[in-house]
Amino acid sequence: MRARRFGHRLYLRIWLAVLLGLAATALLAFAALHLAGDARAPRTIALVDATGRPAGHARLDVMPAPGTVRVALDDGRVLFARWSDAAGQRRAPGFGWWLALIVAAVGLAAYPVARRLTRRLERLRAGVDAHGGGDLAARVEVRGHDEIAYLADRFNHAAARIEALVAKERDLLANASHELRSPLARLRMSIELLGRGDDTRVRAGIARDIGELDALIEEILLASRLGASGAPPEPFADVDLTALAAEECARADIRFEADGALRVHGSTRLLRRCLRNLLDNARRHAGAGGDAMVRLAQTGDRVVLRVGDRGPGVADDERERIFEPFHRARGASEADGGVGLGLALVRAIAARHGGTARCAARSGGGAWFIVELPAAAAAR
């Protein structure tokens, strides 16, 4: 949204409307008082003697009511002054009428401004009511650059965020229910086979399926927590990422290279999960030669973690989609292991630490999965 200029602020517009109203009131009041003063201004009247012959003119400071006025002069003469409203002459209206005119003028001048503001507020209220009623696609038209426009823009942003979160949770639940059916079906079949054959093999399969279910539920819960803005924050501290990666690579029997002891500011638990998911993915796609490896280096204020494999690689149009929850690359199946949450968690964990995760082609075949995190000194 464009920056709000000085004259576009709502309180300034209201203030200017009040000032203009007061200015109009003062001007009209001054005009009313001036006209009322003219009605009482001194007048010149014609004088006549007792025979009706003109006897000159006189100037009176106070006009009597229309009619005849008898004037006795010092020399004994008696004059009569006759005065009446001239035909067709309009008298100045009373002061009360001028006040009524002032009120009407100010009201007419203020109405368009007030109506325009309230109409925009009514549209905003209608949008909020529609969104609260369940229409998550409801948006408000943004007009102007004042506080109401800013509020409408923020409402649209919040509504879009809520709609995206609800859609994400809906997809997560739908995909989770689908993924849970496979190990549950295998468990049901294994239980039916108990006592009919090799119990040892069946029990091992049950234990494997239960472990798969447990890992899947844990990853679903972790993905849900990372996607929720109101989730309790993880405790962050300086983490020796080199030592953590060396430990996980030794556990997975994967080659590891590092440019010294590199530290990041983050959660040890989340970073360990990120590493394990990347290593499990690399081990599944290591290729015939088992050429999976991890490299850790620092570039500027970023620590770069690279996990490579010698698998079939990832097509260009799939390199973003593989980070979506429950997405499997073309040609992958359940037999390959994983449920499509591992890489989604890698990106979510990297984002929680202020970093990024992406996929790139590896020279000679395979793929690099690259995670960039702020170094410990730059993260604070």
pTM (predicted TM-score): 0.54
Considering the chain, what percentage of its residues have pLDDT values greater than 70? 63
275 or 312: which leads in pLDDT: 275
The listed range with the strongest mean pLDDT (58-72, 99-113, 117-131, 310-324) is 310-324
Lowest mean pLDDT among 64-73, 109-118, 236-245, 265-274: 64-73
| Sequence spans of domains, the chain | 6-132, 147-227, 237-379
Contacts of 343 (CB under 8 A, 6+ apart): 277, 281, 322, 323, 357, 369
Exposure string (b/e) for 36-73, b if CB count within 10 Å is 16 or more? eeeeeeeeeeebeeeeeeebeeeeeeeeeeeeebeeee
296 or 137: which leads in pLDDT: 296
Confidence band for 118, pLDDT divided at 50, 70 and 90: confident
pLDDT digits (tens, 9 = 90+) for 233-265: 678 899 999 999 999 999 989 999 999 999 999
Query: At 231, which amino acid appears?
Result: A
Mean pLDDT of the chain: 75
46 or 345: which leads in pLDDT: 345
238 or 28: which leads in pLDDT: 238
Confidence band for 187, pLDDT divided at 50, 70 and 90: confident
**CATH class of the domain defined by 237-379:** alpha beta
pLDDT digits (tens, 9 = 90+) for 257-301: 999 999 999 999 899 999 999 999 888 877 655 678 999 999 999
| Architecture of the structural domain at 147-227 | Orthogonal Bundle (1.10)
The DSSP 8-state label assigned to residue 232 in this structure reads P
pLDDT for the residue 151: 86
| Cβ atoms within 10 Å, residue 135 | 13
Q: Cα separation of 341 and 327, whole Å?
A: 8
